[in-house]
Amino acid sequence: MKLQTAQRKRAKIKLALQGPSGSGKTYSSLLIANGLCPNWSKIVIIDTENGSADLYAHLGAYNVLSIPAPFTPEKYIQAIELCEKEGMEVIIIDSVTHEWENLIDFHSSLQGNSFTNWGKITPRHNAFVQKLLQSQAHIIATIRTKQDYVLNDKNGKMVPEKVGLKSVQRDGLEYEFTLVFDLDMRNNATASKDRTGLFYGKPEIKLGVKTGVTIKNWCERIEEEESIDISERINDCRSIQELLDLYKQYPQYREARKAEFEQHKRKLILQQETSSVITNKTFNPNGTNH
């Protein structure tokens, strides 16, 4: 194990679009994907929606990988690995809801203790989630939502009341994504979770190619400001020890800024030598300066 200074590297977005059927999840995913990657041949949809991925073929020559039921986590993982092997840059999974529904059905078919049986479900689901998060491609996952209800006491009777939409997936999955958009039936989107800081708290928008470009710029932005700051800090070093401490503090810049470190080191050595010569010439042990 080794401690290192935190830094944001080039990222691959892990994006979720959640909304009811007909809210435009597939269409919006394709537009965002095209903003992330202008080359349609590097975009693929893993389709579990009975061929709905083909409805938007007029947009571009993207790829479709249809997987049949049962929609096991293992089948999703194999599909993602195949897409990665084929060099896909953006993988749209439409939708991940079927993965969870498959596990729920499997759980209900198991005999024995219901709580204990979750031990057979959770590792499989976690493997699927980790595959999403660790993929070297941009991932866009669509999630169906449904009306959620709670039971409230009214005049002594428990009455169900609507409390909004709930994603049809395991609770908490949305927290695994970098960015989550909620879509309504007018195809308007709001960010319910946003680590990029680009969309959260902003008015609802129509998702499109421009959205994908904005996300791509965020993903590819290396810490330029920090890199510039490092150059300034190198030049501000007033001793070899300060420079050495800075060199040790930022190992990620050792190669990229090696020439700057060496140049400033030589400058400091020259200053020390010059200062030493001047001191020897002007200092008189008897107290007289020349």
Global pTM value: 0.71
Sorted by sequence, the CB contacts under 8 Å of residue 52 that are 6+ apart come out as 26, 94
Residue 142 has pLDDT above 80, yes or no: yes
Under 8 Å between Cβ of 228 and 212: no
Q: pLDDT value at position 230?
A: 78
Quick: pLDDT tens for 36-58: 999 999 999 999 987 788 889 99
Average pLDDT for 6-23: 82
Half-sphere exposure of 205 (CA within 13 A, CB side): 17
Residue 259 has pLDDT above 80, yes or no: yes
Identify the DSSP state of 196: S
Average pLDDT for 242-253: 78
Residue 169 has pLDDT above 60, yes or no: yes
Better-scored residue on pLDDT, 248 or 122: 122
* Best CA proximity match to 23, nearest among 89, 72, 128, 95: 95
Residue labelled with tokens 């269409």:
27
Residue 7 has pLDDT above 60, yes or no: no
Strands 90-94 and 188-194: unpaired
Q: The tokens of 252 are what?
A: 């990620």
- Domains defined for the chain, CATH in brackets: 14-220 (3.40.50.300), 224-282 (no CATH)
